Amino acid sequence: MDEMKEKNDHILTDREIEKKYGRKYAGLDLFPEDRKSQVIPALFSALGACIGILPGCMIWVFLGRRGVMAAYVGIIMAGGAFWCGKRAAWAAGYKGFNIIQKAACALVIAVAAYITARYVVVVRMTDIIRDYVPEFRQDWADQLKERGFTPGQINDICTMEESKRYVCESYGIKEISRHECSERFSQLIETCHMKKEYIKYILVSYVTAFGGIILPEEKKSDKE
């Protein structure tokens, strides 16, 4: 009885069906949806979402490098992720788009929105510190001038390299780079007085990103 039960519980693959019953039965869906794994279609949806977020991420980073902190681009990223996640599951032969697949897409969107938003803030902090170097150098030169130093002496003392070194020491970093600013992110977010701006930016990023999930669903329901 146990052996018969194990045979009945075994779900045949297309190849096994073709071998046992012939080619014409190989493509038939002989088992209900609730007997199929929900993990694999969710993985396909997540993979599709990873591809779909790329255009939005690139636009977001492109604008962020130019000083535009455009969190609203998250809706483009989320819309692409949701659309590609659905199509990837369908292309793999899984009908419908259930809550597990939607959750997989939402997880990808949440992680991508956080990473992209954080990267843009890191770029912004790096630019702030880099732009401060010439300002610091000028202030330093003015102070030396007031103390009676000659222009030649001031130029020898207030070099760009020395100015960078002092600025790095004041911010507690080794060099002015995105990698270094990312490593010291928690410290610099306080030093640059950007904590409130960062929290607001993350919240707006999530609101706009998940708006990309809600909008396609509303469109679909209107058609239905």
pLDDT in tens, 139-178: 998 888 888 888 888 888 888 899 999 999 988 888 999 8
Q: What angle, rounded to 10 degrees, do the helices at 39-52 and 74-91 form?
A: 140
- Asked whether the beta carbons of 53 and 112 are under 8 A apart, the reply is yes
Q: What is the 3-state secondary structure (H, E, C) of 154-201?
A: HHHHCCHHHHHHHHHHHHCCCCCCHHHHHHCHHHHHHHCCCHHHHHHH
Per the model's pLDDT, the better-predicted residue between 126 and 71 turns out to be: 126
CA distances from 158 to 10, 143, 176 (A): 78, 11, 18
What pLDDT is stored for residue 222 in this prediction? 39
Give the C-alpha separation, 120 to 60, whole Å: 8
Non-local (6+) Cβ contacts of 87 within 8 A are 48
What pLDDT is stored for residue 5 in this prediction? 44
What pLDDT is stored for residue 1 in this prediction? 46
Q: How does pLDDT run across 182-210, given as a tens digit for each residue? A: 888 888 888 888 888 788 878 877 777 77
What pLDDT is stored for residue 70 in this prediction? 66
Q: What is the mean pLDDT of the chain?
A: 76
Residue 217 has pLDDT above 70, yes or no: no
Coil vs helix vs strand at 103? helix
Give the C-alpha separation, 180 to 82, whole Å: 33
Verdict on whether the full-model pTM lies above 0.85:
no
Give the C-alpha separation, 202 to 121, whole Å: 10
Q: pLDDT tier at 133 (50, 70, 90 boundaries)?
A: very high
What pLDDT is stored for residue 221 in this prediction? 37
What pLDDT is stored for residue 101 in this prediction? 83
Give the C-alpha separation, 131 to 67, whole Å: 12
What pLDDT is stored for residue 67 in this prediction? 64
The mean pLDDT value for 66-95 works out to: 77
Q: How many CA atoms lie within 13 A of 115 on its CB side?
A: 13
What pLDDT is stored for residue 37 in this prediction? 63
